[in-house]
């Protein structure tokens, strides 16, 4: 694993995730979800940022393993797969105790996560390609 690629890719991926999340969730889907996290205390934004950085570093870690992913198309494809599985896993666990499940909201969130993942995957792959 190339540690430099991992760190730089993780930071870039996390920032891309945060900014795309602001556009997708904060602007485009603002009225879709019950309450915007941005309307809460400042700690919510910190946790959102830390979650975005965690996803950026997850994608960067996966991409930097083995031969490394440095092609944007391969990066998008891999990040999409990871995002779909993570989205389904979290929604299944979040809804396991609910009496009613909003499948439409779940699908919208998974698709939104896929949109964010394409940006993160492309950014991390681009960083890996430039730092070869």
Q: What would the pLDDT profile of 15-29 be if each residue is shown by its tens digit? A: 999 999 999 988 899
- Reported pTM: 0.88
Q: What is the mean pLDDT of residues 2-7?
A: 92
Determine contact, residues 73/57, Cβ cutoff 8 Å. Answer: no
How confident is the model at residue 24, as a pLDDT? 94
Determine contact, residues 66/112, Cβ cutoff 8 Å. Answer: no
Residues 104-120 pLDDT 10s: 999 999 999 999 999 99
Percent of the chain with pLDDT over 90: 69
Determine contact, residues 56/120, Cβ cutoff 8 Å. Answer: yes
How confident is the model at residue 79, as a pLDDT? 95
């Amino acid at each position: 694993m190339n540690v430099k690629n991992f760190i730089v890719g993780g930071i870039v991926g996390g920032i891309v995730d945060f900014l795309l999340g602001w556009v997708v969730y904060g602007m485009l889907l603002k009225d879709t979800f019950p309450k915007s996290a941005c309307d809460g205390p400042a700690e919510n934004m910190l946790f959102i940022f830390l979650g975005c950085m965690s996803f950026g570093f997850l994608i960067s870690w996966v991409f930097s393993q083995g031969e490394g992913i440095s092609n944007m198309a391969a990066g998008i494809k891999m990040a999409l797969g990871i995002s779909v599985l993570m989205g389904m896993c979290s929604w299944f666990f979040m809804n396991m105790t609910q009496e009613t499940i909003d499948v439409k909201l779940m699908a919208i969130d998974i698709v939104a996560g896929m949109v964010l993942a394409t940006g993160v995957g492309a950014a991390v792959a681009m960083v890996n390609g430039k730092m070869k």
